[in-house]
């Protein structure tokens, strides 16, 4: 970045954002586990139409379960990456501070 442009990174803000992402992921997992049984319903009757509707509902519910859990997993992964970045910034600050102490 040229022309005196700087980027300020707050490791504490990265860690706080990671905690929020973890919280969202946890709520998705809790909601999915709590509501999964309610969307996997038995056929209303034994005729073909009811069984077909139930089968379709199960396919949609299974697809939603997979997508929701994948989303939660991705949020957890993003949170972990934010924590890694925060640690890297902190480490670089320590190195830079030590180098300045030597120079000054």
Q: How many CB atoms lie within 10 A of CB 63?
A: 10
pLDDT over 90 at 17, yes or no: yes
DSSP string, 21-54: HHHHHHHHHHHHHHHHHHHSPPPSSSSHHHHHHH
pLDDT of residue 40: 78
Instruction: Tell me how far apart the alpha carbons of residues 10 and 22 are, in angstroms, rounded to a whole number.
Output: 19
pLDDT of residue 35: 86
Q: Which two tokens stand for residue 75?
A: 């949020």
| Domain 11-103, CATH | 1.10.287.850
pLDDT of residue 28: 96
pLDDT over 60 at 77, yes or no: yes
């Amino acid at each position: 970045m040229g022309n005196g442009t700087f980027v300020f990174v707050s490791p504490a803000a990265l860690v706080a954002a990671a905690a929020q992402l973890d919280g969202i992921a946890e709520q998705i997992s809790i909601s999915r586990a709590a509501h999964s049984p309610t969307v996997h319903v038995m056929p209303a009757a034994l005729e073909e139409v009811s069984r077909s509707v139930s089968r379709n509902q199960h396919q949609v519910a299974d697809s939603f379960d997979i997508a929701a859990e994948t989303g939660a997993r991705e949020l957890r992964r993003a949170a972990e990456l934010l924590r890694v970045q925060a640690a890297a910034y902190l480490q670089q600050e320590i190195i830079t501070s030590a180098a300045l102490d030597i120079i000054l």
